[in-house]
Amino acid sequence: MTQTNHPFLSLKEGRWFKLICGASYQNLPAIRNLALAYTLAGADCVDVAADPAVVAAVQEAFQGAAQWRKHQSRGDGETGGDPWLMVSFCDGEDPHFRKAVFDPAHCPADCPRPCELICPADAIAMTPVAIGVLESRCYGCGRCLPVCPIQTIHTRSTAVSPAAIAPELLPQVDAIEIHTQINREEAFLALWHQLQPWVGHLKLLAISCPDGEGVIPYLWRLYEALQPLPIPLIWQTDGRPMSGDIGDGTTHATMRLGQKVLAQGPPGFVQLAGGTNGYTVPKLHQLGWLRQKTKIAQETAIAQGSRPRFGGVAYGSYARRLLSEVLEADATNSSATAPGNRRPFKLEEHPDQLQHAIAIAQHLMLPLKRPAEFLARFPVECPVRGIGPPLPHG
């Protein structure tokens, strides 16, 4: 899929694609390989934890992508540049900034371990070499909490102090995202005050907020407090956090909130997140959200700047799950290798696997990035469930 990959242009044209690696996810090999595949597929942004090690892993992925492009003779996966690198902060308690915690010594010997079975990140293990929660893998989805038979699983916050890491971290990134909730403007502005000295280095600010009573007035208050803002602003409509891999219907919450913000919210770009999956963009096509506008109409809307406009979609757990088989193949192949002899798995060193990963990522991007091709192949007049090409097979 050869395409121009200019993130701001993608925002203006409503085809912005963001990969969410997770605000508390720190599995460095997985993050690196996810960022590599989605970069080569044409992603516009990679959103990661505000952790120097995680940022370094993504920067290494960008370097790997540049080398891959350089040495490829054909155009598969070529883009016009790297995605923007975004890190996330929060202004208070937030499910994105937590990890599961429990003491396995309290687990009954005959426990069926539903927590281990339900964990989408394989972050819970009960083996002689790995017992309990593997912190680097856990991204805080919370699915293990209600299923524990003895209710011993709890969470701890992973939120970081911006003052401690901002001087080192923010000059290395392109964008920041602030997770907030309704009626937390005092906490939001306190956090914004800590981040503001680095705004001049940034290309974008995103604000993620869930739905609830009073959400539109709250977003307007934040917008007014941020003025004048010298960089573009995204309103991330966080419908059902960390749930896109559960089933098609999880996307409905973010679409409802997205419609609300588009109709009544403050200026900026609206980007769907929280429950997004392969059903999301086909449904948007069916509802007419993504009808192509003339260049004049697009430029007029941008010049007026008085209304929010659709920018694109972010994918988290669903995007990661799509590539899980490709990325986990190495874990299976290297299981017989002595731990001390294992090298970090670099996807670009396995060209067939990387090409397969790129094809899967492009499959997810097709309805958003190449709508004319998608609509020609998969008319949206048919029921949305099942719309789209079958996933590529390796």
Are 141 and 192 in a shared domain? no
Are 198 and 246 in a shared domain? yes
Are 36 and 135 in a shared domain? no
* Token reading at 92: 């208070």
Q: How much of the chain, in percent, has pLDDT values that exceed 90?
A: 72
**pLDDT (tens digit per residue) in 11-43:** 999 999 999 999 999 999 999 999 999 999 999
Q: How many structural domains are present in the chain?
A: 2
Q: Which of 9, 6, 4, 12 is nearest to 310 (CA)?
A: 12
Domain with 195 in it: 7-94+162-220+231-321+355-377
Are 189 and 132 in a shared domain? no
- Asked whether the beta carbons of 14 and 290 are under 8 A apart, the reply is yes
Are 22 and 87 in a shared domain? yes
How far apart CA 210 and CA 256 sit, in angstroms, is: 11
How far apart CA 291 and CA 8 sit, in angstroms, is: 19
CATH for 306: 3.20.20.390
Are 185 and 250 in a shared domain? yes
> Per the domain annotation, does 388 fall within a domain?
no
> Per the domain annotation, does 88 fall within a domain?
yes
Exposure of 145 in the CB half-sphere (CA atoms within 13 A)? 13
343 or 59: which leads in pLDDT: 59
Chosen domain end from 157, 177, 208: 157
Q: Of 9-13, 93-97, 390-394, give the lowest mean pLDDT range.
A: 390-394
* Mean pLDDT, residues 98-110 taken together: 91
Q: Which of 53, 44, 25, 138 is nearest to 86 (CA)?
A: 44
Are 303 and 315 in a shared domain? yes
Phi-psi category of residue 200: left, alpha or beta, with phi > 0 → left and psi -120 to 50 → alpha: alpha
Quote the pLDDT of residue 4. 46
Are 191 and 272 in a shared domain? yes
Q: Of 50-59, 165-174, 215-224, 342-351, give the lowest mean pLDDT range.
A: 342-351
Q: Of 158-162, 232-236, 321-325, 334-338, give the lowest mean pLDDT range.
A: 334-338
Are 39 and 146 in a shared domain? no
> Per the domain annotation, does 392 fall within a domain?
no
CATH for 150: 3.30.70.20
Give the torsion sign (CA, 319, 6, 10, 363): negative
Are 241 and 311 in a shared domain? yes
* Mean pLDDT, residues 276-303 taken together: 73
> Per the domain annotation, does 339 fall within a domain?
no
Residue 227's pLDDT band, with cuts at 50, 70 and 90, is: very high
Are 30 and 62 in a shared domain? yes
